[in-house]
Chain A
């Protein structure tokens, strides 16, 4: 299921709580060394579930460059 979108984390605003990681159906987002969340754009299907769960509202859905 490809999507035009992928999730991108604003690292400076991320509180590294991990709420996003529990929602992702593709295991495409993880917390990097307790500092911030990191998305694997190749795995991400752009479903936006992580964004909806993020308490710091620091995830944005970006249009993939190839499609932009």
Chain B
């Protein structure tokens, strides 16, 4: 039975577009805030994981790529990757790194630090990315946040691609911080309820 496709089944294209746009102009990184806020809003007010289940371009990308390119071994991932301590530990780490980006942005805003035109991969490797920003286009702090947020988005997607290749296509989803956060919200909202 072939399922009919909806417009949001093509959001994997958005994922690719996002990184392409940010490659040429880092300010597009701000658009990634949609992927950050929408899942939380839908979980908070809709009480479900509609974002993960239907709207997440990244999750779709990890499904579409292995189908087209046969680039996933399809093996079960080690159980610890989806264990509670790892999921929540990674969530905490991720939020700390996000707080760090906000802090860096504030330092630039306050004039205590200067703009760094680099993308930091895996929280370690600094890749010069100066071509994607012309100094003076916006306030420096706006650009600083872009570089930081793009780094976070790119790093998490690269990790996702690595585990996609090594294990099952959507292995990233088993410890994705957004997925963990939205599930926590849903579980809190529906505490005590049982499926009919």
Interface size on A, residues (CB 8 A): 23
Q: What number of residue pairs across chains A and B have CB atoms under 8 A from each other? A: 92
Contacting pair A31 B76 (CB below 8 A): no
Interface size on B, residues (CB 8 A): 39
Contact of A26 among B1, B48, B53, B74 (CB under 8 A): B1
A window 33-60: CB within 8 A of B: 33-35, 38, 52-58
Contacting pair A16 B49 (CB below 8 A): yes
Contacting pair A35 B173 (CB below 8 A): no
Quick one: which of A13, A15, A25, A26 has the most chain B CB within 10 A?
Answer: A15
What 0/1 readout, one digit per residue, does chain B (54-65) give for beta carbons within 8 Å of chain A?
100001000100
- Determine if B136 is an interface residue (Cβ-Cβ < 8 Å): no
Tell me, in angstroms, the Cα distance from A16 to B76 when the chains sit together.
17
Tell me, in angstroms, the Cα distance from A26 to B1 when the chains sit together.
7
A22 → B minimal CB distance (Å): 7
Contacting pair B186 A19 (CB below 8 A): no
Which label, helix, strand, loop or mixed, suits the secondary structure of the B interface?
helix
A window 12-27: CB within 8 A of B: 13, 15-19, 21-22, 25-26
Tell me, in angstroms, the Cα distance from A53 to B185 when the chains sit together.
24
Tell me, in angstroms, the Cα distance from A52 to B168 when the chains sit together.
8
Q: Across the two chains, which residue of chain A brings its CB closest to B50?
A: A34
- Determine if B79 is an interface residue (Cβ-Cβ < 8 Å): yes
Contacting pair A56 B82 (CB below 8 A): yes
Contacting pair B183 A33 (CB below 8 A): no
Contacting pair A57 B173 (CB below 8 A): no
Tell me, in angstroms, the Cα distance from A25 to B2 when the chains sit together.
8
Contact of A33 among B48, B63, B79, B175 (CB under 8 A): B48
Residues of B with C-beta under 8 A to A19 = 59, 63, 168-170, 173
Q: Across the two chains, which residue of chain B brings its CB closest to A33?
A: B190
Quick one: which of A13, A34, A38, A53 has the most chain B CB within 10 A?
Answer: A34
Nearest 10 pairs of A and B residues by beta carbon? A34-B186, A18-B53, A34-B49, A17-B173, A56-B82, A34-B48, A55-B174, A57-B76, A19-B170, A55-B170
15 A–B contacts, CB within 8 A, in A order: A13-B82, A16-B49, A16-B52, A17-B52, A17-B59, A18-B53, A19-B169, A21-B53, A26-B1, A31-B53, A33-B186, A33-B190, A55-B168, A55-B169, A57-B79
